[in-house]
Structure 1
Amino acid sequence: MLEVLLIILSIFLICFVSFIYVLKHERRTLWAGMTFTASLFTFALLIFISLMDLTDIYSKNHPWLISVFLLILLSILAFIAGTILVLIGMFIYNGIKIILKEGNHWTNYLSLGLGILFILVLFIYPNFGHFYINDWVTYVYIFILLTTLYFIYIMIMYTFTAWINLVNPKNPHLDYVVVLGAGLLHGDQVSPLLAARINRGIEIMKENPGSKLIMSGGQGGNETIPEGVAMAKYAEKLGISKDKIIIENKSKTTYENIMFSHKLMGPNSKFCLVTNSYHVYRALVLAKNQGLKCIGYGAKTKWYFTLNAFIREFIAYVVITKRLQITIVGIIFVLCSIAAVFDNLIL
C-alpha cells in the first residue's frame, strides 16, 4: 500500500507542478482546466487510499472504522450522482425559463436540448434500448455515448479553464481597458447587458490610474449608430471624460473587436478585455490566436441567462477548434466501426 501511495503522491505532484507552470506561462488553454482537475482528482485519490490504509491498520481494534470508511465512500458516490442529476435539472429548468423570458429563438433551446440529450443517452436508452449485443444499433449508441462523454469532459475542462481565467490575483498595471460591444436597444441605446460591461470597465480603469477605455463595437444592420459611439456616450453620462475614452467603431465580431482595438494602442501596451463572465474565456482564446497577451474581466449577467449563454460560448469554442474536435470524433467513429465489423465477423 505504501508503494501505491508513493506513486499517487508522485502523480499528484507532477499534476500540481504542471498546473502552476500553465498558470504562469499560458493559462488560456484547456491545459489549465486539465491540470487543475487532474490535481484535484489525484489529491482526492491520495486521501481516499490513505483512509483505506488507516482503516486496514486500525480496523482490528476499531471495527467501527470500516463503517466510517464505507459511509465516506457512499457519500462520495451519492455526491457524484447528485451532481449529475442537479446539472441535468439545471439545464432543463434554465432552458424552460430562458425560452419563457427571452423568446422562441433556436439559441434559447441549447440548455433544454442538452438536458434532454443527457437524459436520453445516460438513462433512457440503457434501460429501454434492448438490442442484441451484435446489433449495429448498439454500436451507433456506443459511438453517441462516447462522443457525448468526450464533449462532457471537454465542457468540464472548458468550465474550469474559464473560471481560472476570471481570477486575476496579481495584475500588471493596465494601459488600456477594452470593453467589448454588444447589440444596441432601439438602434442607439445601450442594453442592460452592455451597460454591465461598461460599468465593469470603468471600475477597472479607476483601479489603474492613467489607463484609458477603448469602447469597441461597429454598427450592426439594425443599429443607427456604431456600438462604440453609444458605449462612449453612456460612459460620459457616468462622468468619464472624453479624453479617457477611445472609440473603435469598425468591428463586427469579437475577433475584430480585439484586433482593431489593439491597433489603437501604443507599442508594448498592457491591456485587458471586459465582457460578460461567460464570454471572457472565448475572447481570451481569440486574443491568444492573434498572438496577443492580455487578461480578462467578467461583468455580471442575469443568472438564468448565464447557463444558456455559456453553452453557446462552448459551442463557439468547439467551432474555433473544429479540426481537433472532428479528428477526435472521427477516431471514436473509426474505433466503433472496427469493433462492430470485428464483432459481426466473429458471430
Structure 2
Amino acid sequence: MLVLAVPGLFLLLFLIGVLRDRRRFGNAVHLGLFVISLPVILFPARDHLSPVVVVLLAAVVLLAPSLGTLVLAVLLILNGRTMLRKEGRSLTNLLSLLVGLGILGLVALMAQAALIHSRALEVLTGTLLLVTAYVSFLFVCFVGYAFLYGRYGRLTAAGKADFVVVLGSGLIGGSRVSPLLASRLERGRAVYERQVARGHAPVLITSGGQGRDEHLPEAHAMADYLTDRGFPADRIVREDRSRTTEENLTYSRAIMEQAKPGYRCVIVTNNFHAFRAALLARSTGVNGQVVGSHTAAYYWPSATIREFAAVFLTHKVVNLGVCLLICLLGLAAWWRL
C-alpha cells in the first residue's frame, strides 16, 4: 500500500486545487505528476505479470517517448511550413518550425555524442536533455490541463452570468474584424443567446483598445460587427482602453464591479488562449471562467507554444531557476572531467 502514497498524494493535491480554483497552473503540474507516478504502482507487481506483458510495458516506456519525439518534430516542421504559407513570415508564425528543428538538432547531438564518445559532448547533451525534459513536462501538463479546462468551460457557459466579456485581437487593415476575432464574437453571441433563453439577458462587453496600426479601437469594431448582424446595441458596453489580455480583464472588471457588485461573468476568447486567459482572470481578480471559440487546426501548434511560453515566463523565477540549476550541475560535471 505504501507504493500508492506517491500517486495518491499528487491526485489529492490536484483535487484540492481544482476545488479551490480551477484557474491554477499548479493543478496542471499536480495532474502531470500523478500521471507520471502511476508506473510506480506496477513495479511491485512485475513478478506477477507474464513476460509478454512486461516486454510490452517496457517497449511502451522506452520506445514510445523516442518515437513520439521524432514524429512530433516532423509534424511541427510541417505545421511551421503551413503557418508561413497561410499567415506570413513572423517570429510567432515560425515557433512550431523552430521547435521542430530544435528537437531534431538535439536528437542529432545525442547521436553524435554516442558515436564519438566525447565526455564533454555527453555532458552538454545530458544537460540540454534534462532542461528539455523539464520544459517538455510542463508543456505536456499545460496542454493536458488546458484541454480539460476547455471541456469544463462548456459547463461554465451554461450557468447564469451577468456579463459576457469578449476579448479583442488585432484588426485586419486596422479596421476589419479578423476571422479569429469573429469566432470569439460568434461564441460570445451564442453564450448571450443561451442566457436569454434561460430568462436573463447579460451585458456583453467588447474589450480591446486601439493599436498603433489600427484606425479605431478593437472594442468599437467588435461592437459594430455584432450590431450589424442584429445584436441589440443596448446590451453592449465597450471597453476601449486595453492593450493586453491582462488589461482586457482589469478594465472589464472595473466596469462590471461598478455596474453590479458581486457579478458573475463568462469570458470568451479562442480555445488555444482559454487556459492562459483563465490564469490571468484569477490573478486580476475577475469573478468568472473562460470559454473558447473554434480556431483553425493549423493555427493551434504555434499558438499553443506561444501561450505556454507566456505562462512559463509568468513563473520565470521558479522555471528559469530550475533550468539554471540543471545547467550549473552540468557545468560541475564538465569541470570534473
Query: What is the rounded CA distance, in whole Å, between the counterparts of 2:130 and 2:44 in structure 1?
Result: 32
Greater alpha carbon shift after TM alignment, 68-77 vs 153-162: 68-77
Tell me what 1:107 maps to: 92
Deviation digits for residues 248-291 of structure 1 (CA, Å, limit 9, x no counterpart): 11111111111111111021111122111111122222222223
Query: What is the rounded CA distance, in whole Å, between the counterparts of 2:211 and 2:298 in structure 1?
Result: 26
Aligned partner of 2:227: which letter? E
> Contact 1:175/1:211 (CA < 8 Å) preserved in 2?
yes
Tell me what 2:105 maps to: 120
Q: Does 1:254 align with 2:245?
A: yes
Aligned partner of 2:72: which letter? L
Query: What is the rounded CA distance, in whole Å, between the counterparts of 1:310 and 1:33 in structure 2?
Result: 15
Aligned partner of 1:227: which letter? E
Q: Does 1:15 align with 2:2?
A: no
Tell me what 1:33 maps to: 28
> Contact 1:318/1:325 (CA < 8 Å) preserved in 2?
yes
Tell me what 1:207 maps to: 194
Aligned partner of 1:97: which letter? T
Q: Does 1:157 align with 2:151?
A: no
Aligned partner of 1:85: which letter? L
Tell me what 2:129 maps to: 145
Deviation digits for residues 213-268 of structure 1 (CA, Å, limit 9, x no counterpart): 11001111222211111111111133220122111111111111111111110211
Aligned partner of 1:230: which letter? A
CA-based RMSD of the aligned residues comes to 2.2
Structure 2, gaps ≥5 residues long: none
> Contact 1:51/1:69 (CA < 8 Å) preserved in 2?
no
> Contact 2:278/2:289 (CA < 8 Å) preserved in 1?
yes
Query: What is the rounded CA distance, in whole Å, between the counterparts of 1:323 and 1:51 in structure 2?
Result: 40
Aligned partner of 2:167: which letter? L
Greater alpha carbon shift after TM alignment, 18-27 vs 297-306: 18-27
Q: Does 1:319 align with 2:316?
A: no
Report the secondary structure of 1:264's partner residue.
helix
- Per the TM alignment, residue 139 of structure 1 is displaced from its structure 2 partner at its CA by 3.5
Tell me what 1:287 maps to: 281
> Contact 2:29/2:138 (CA < 8 Å) preserved in 1?
no
Report the secondary structure of 1:301's partner residue.
coil
Query: What is the rounded CA distance, in whole Å, between the counterparts of 2:328 and 2:43 in structure 1?
Result: 37
Query: What is the rounded CA distance, in whole Å, between the counterparts of 1:51 and 1:131 in structure 2?
Result: 37
Query: What is the rounded CA distance, in whole Å, between the counterparts of 2:35 and 2:89 in structure 1?
Result: 40
Report the secondary structure of 2:241's partner residue.
coil
Query: What is the rounded CA distance, in whole Å, between the counterparts of 1:101 and 1:112 in structure 2?
Result: 14
> Contact 2:249/2:286 (CA < 8 Å) preserved in 1?
no
> 1:53/1:142 Cα in 2 relative to 1: closer, same or farther (>3 Å)?
closer
Query: What is the rounded CA distance, in whole Å, between the counterparts of 2:105 and 2:95 in structure 1?
Result: 15
Tell me what 2:179 maps to: 192
> Contact 2:25/2:279 (CA < 8 Å) preserved in 1?
no
- Per the TM alignment, residue 44 of structure 1 is displaced from its structure 2 partner at its CA by 5.0
Deviation digits for residues 171-208 of structure 1 (CA, Å, limit 9, x no counterpart): 34221111100111122211110000011111112222
Report the secondary structure of 1:247's partner residue.
strand
Deviation digits for residues 281-337 of structure 1 (CA, Å, limit 9, x no counterpart): 222222222233421111111111111111111122223222222222221222222
Query: What is the rounded CA distance, in whole Å, between the counterparts of 2:60 and 2:316 in structure 1?
Result: 38
- Per the TM alignment, residue 210 of structure 1 is displaced from its structure 2 partner at its CA by 2.4
Query: What is the rounded CA distance, in whole Å, between the counterparts of 2:95 and 2:10 in structure 1?
Result: 34
Structure 1, gaps ≥5 residues long: 1-5, 56-64
Identity of aligned residues (%): 29
Report the secondary structure of 2:151's partner residue.
coil
Number of matched pairs? 325
> Contact 1:165/1:295 (CA < 8 Å) preserved in 2?
no
Aligned partner of 2:108: which letter? I
Aligned partner of 1:128: which letter? Q
Q: How does the TM-score come out when normalised to structure 1?
A: 0.86
